[in-house]
Structure 1
């Protein structure tokens, strides 16, 4: 394993690193083991949530590319016309930023 590569969740190395960082937060070994299991169970969900801004930014950029190619958009002002209706809050903002960034010099 490279020095800068973190250990993979579920490995003995990851468990040891997790214990070193969070082990003192729990009174017993059973509590530590349960917390680590909870971490592993929720890892995919947490990664999806925290990677969403990048994905939505990229989706907006690609949507702009497609809309320009189809002749449906010609400026960043067209972003509001094409933003998916199901996006709200930060996700909507990330998508709009991605769409508008397609037009940056």
Structure 2
């Protein structure tokens, strides 16, 4: 029995391989995508125009576009360890 991949399956395999390669080049791993979110209270370190920059305890700076906060404000952020994006942010209670 001769097994051949259809063009459709080859395309799916190439897409999956491409995603894995991109994550490897970025220094991340696929497990980071499925890890639990971290919630942390941080200060807004920089505000330039409508963009704020905060830095969590993992040392990764993260930006907030259309930022309603001021430099020095204490806010609560949700993020995944090592990834540069924020999942959520709100004024600290």
TM-score (norm 1): 0.25
Q: Structure 1 or 2: larger strand share? A: 2
Q: Structure 1 or 2: larger helix share? A: 1
TM-score (norm 2): 0.26
Bigger Rg over Cα: 1
Greater relative CO (CA pairs within 8 A, separation 6+): 1
